[in-house]
Amino acid sequence: MKLYNTLTRQKEEFRPIEGNTVKIYSCGPTVYQYAHIGNMRSYIFMDILRRVLKYNGYQLKHVMNITDVGHLVSDADEGEDKMMKTARETRKSPWEIAEYYTGVFMDHIAELNIEKPEIIPKATEHIDEMLEFVEALVEKGYGYETSDGIYFDIMKFEGYGKLSGLDLEGQKAGARVDVNKEKRHPADFALWKKAPKEHIMQWPSRWGMGYPGWHIECSAMGRKYLGDEFDIHTGGVDHIPVHHENEIAQSEALLGKPAVRWWLHGEFLLVDNGKMSKSLGNTYTVTDLREKGYDPLAFRYMCLNANYRSKLNFTWDGLKAAQVALDRLIEAVVAHKNADPEVKVPDEIVQGFEKEFLEAINDDLNIPKAMAVAWNVARYGTKSQDLYRLLLKMDQVFALDFSKAAEKIKEETPELDPEILELIEQRQQARKEKNWKVADEIRDRLNEMGILLEDTPQGVRWSYKK
RNA sequence: GGCGCCAUAGCCAAGUGGUAAGGCACGGGUCUGCAAAACCCUCAUUCCCCAGUUCAAAUCUGGGUGGCGCCUCCA
């Protein structure tokens, strides 16, 4: 299979470094607020990567960190700690906050059918590893101490900027103001920060009480669980210039060789063609989707319909279209599921579809193309359980609950309150008497109440309007 | 100012040298008392503009135009 490596800016044939196991590190959530659907898109991308690798027969050893130690509000390592800010505002301890938001995050990724990575370490439980990492860097001459912390000296590291194509001179000449005069280069970054007394989260170190810089956790935990060299590192495109550049600098400076083979980055989700931001009030969460009547999997479907390396524009209309499409796809899957077991589809047809599907997912996770194949299977003229099995196989990658949803449709006889049941009964009576006027009036009335009626050959079916 | 991405039907979106996937919406049809839902059919001679390379370009090259992201915490 081929994957696009940000480091080389091209698709490369993927082979694990060692045997059949793929070692992956994914930048995980900072748990001091709700993760929004933009964050979720990244984890859906991470999940698709996992599933495609597994489909290809690989074993996974996958680490995703939980950042439960506060990063700072601004760069240049200044300003208030984010975790502290939330703590102050909610009068809770950082630990309580982290636990709460971690729980919500786990619920949300579960609703999106995002598989949990095998190893999910918390930053606060790996302070020792981070300190060891920092100490080793200082001993090697890559770190230096200032009055407020230990910084990484990027000029000592030759490859700095290779991931993002950063022009350090250009950066220097830019509008950016260097607020920290003790730093040797404006882009030098903190490995360890000395903590002021009021800082809630702090740990002892050889430089006194302090807390880790915001890049070190990924390097330290990745190394602990995956070793000095691992296959894939994922994250959002926003991490390319600073976070991942710094990770590369730290790890490579320490090891004397690259720690990561493939850098994979997921593009942003835009909302109404612009950036998501709290000030615009468009940082929707999975909870928001559900409250508006959408299946979180409709959002997953929406994400699957676009390449992970392209920006995707989120709109409510777009989500609605995705929900309709997903519902119909499931209906089509059910038609195959209920097909006569005697009906066969020629092997070469089934295998042809399967091959097309595999080629798509193995071409840098071309899921939109794979979905097109699934649609062609779903709408194939002959309904057959051969194709149902194929669709279930494809769903190992899509994870759109083909099988579960098919069950659900079968058993759909929800509860209704008696008043509405009575109205439906009255309408049935009117229909029997061919009193269409009354029947239609009742249907309209129910419609206004948000109940949709459908007369099917099997009887009346109702549902809540979306 | 620096770095990077993108531009394909009303909308979302594949395709990166060989003659335009898929989905949503629209229109037509089947079904229905009428609807709804579902299903079937239809829907880009053309890929932002201009020039070039080529037997052949949406795909490559050069130049425009437009949009977006990052450079400040961000997925």
Q: Which nucleotide is nearest to A165 if distance is taken from CA to C1'?
A: B3
pLDDT of residue A229: 94
Strand B at less than 7 A from CB of A239: yes
Beta-carbon count within 10 A of A283 CB: 18
Strand bridging mode A312-314 / A269-271: parallel
Helix/strand/coil (H, E, C) string of A61-75?
EEEECEECCCCECCC
Chain B bases closer than 7 A to any CB of the protein: 1-6, 11-15, 21-25, 32-41, 67-75
Q: What is the pLDDT of residues A438-465, one digit of tens each?
A: 998 888 888 888 788 888 777 787 777 6
pLDDT of residue A169: 55
Query: ipTM score here?
Result: 0.92
Which residue is nearest to the C1' sugar atom of B25, using CA?
A: A321
Strand B at less than 7 A from CB of A323: no
Strand B at less than 7 A from CB of A173: yes
Protein CA A311 to sugar C1' B7 (Å):
12
Mean pLDDT for A183-201 is 84
Beta-carbon count within 10 A of A168 CB: 14
User: Rounded distance, CA A107 to CA A118, Å?
Assistant: 16
Which residue is nearest to the C1' sugar atom of B3, using CA?
A: A166
Protein CA A324 to sugar C1' B43 (Å):
19
Strands (E), A175-241: 189-194, 210-212, 230-236
In this predicted structure, the answer to whether residue A333 has a pLDDT above a threshold of 90 is yes
Strand B at less than 7 A from CB of A311: yes
Which tops the pLDDT comparison, A301 or A83?
Answer: A301
Residues 374-403 (A) near nucleic chain B, CB < 7 A: 375-376, 379
- Residue found under tokens 């190992």: A396
% of chain A beyond a pLDDT of 70: 89
pLDDT of residue A225: 96
Q: What is the pLDDT of residues A263-308, one digit of tens each?
A: 999 998 988 878 887 767 788 999 999 988 899 999 999 999 999 9
Strand B at less than 7 A from CB of A371: yes
User: Rounded distance, CA A99 to CA A123, Å?
Assistant: 13
Strand B at less than 7 A from CB of A76: yes
Which token pair is A78?
Answer: 């200044």
Protein CA A445 to sugar C1' B34 (Å):
16
User: Which neighbouring-strand residues pair with A143?
Assistant: A152
Which residue is nearest to the C1' sugar atom of B34, using CA?
A: A436
Q: What is the pLDDT of residues A9-51, one digit of tens each?
A: 888 899 999 999 999 999 999 888 889 999 999 999 999 999 9
Strand B at less than 7 A from CB of A344: no
Strand B at less than 7 A from CB of A316: no
Which tops the pLDDT comparison, A82 or A175?
Answer: A82
Strand B at less than 7 A from CB of A439: yes
Mean pLDDT for A408-436 is 77
Long-range contacts for A99-102 (Cβ within 8 Å, ≥24 apart)? A101/A29, A101/A31, A101/A32, A101/A33, A101/A34, A101/A35, A102/A29, A102/A31, A102/A66, A102/A68
Protein CA A466 to sugar C1' B24 (Å):
16
- Compute the mean pLDDT over every residue in chain A, rounded to the nearest whole number: 86
Q: Which nucleotide is nearest to A175 if distance is taken from CA to C1'?
A: B1
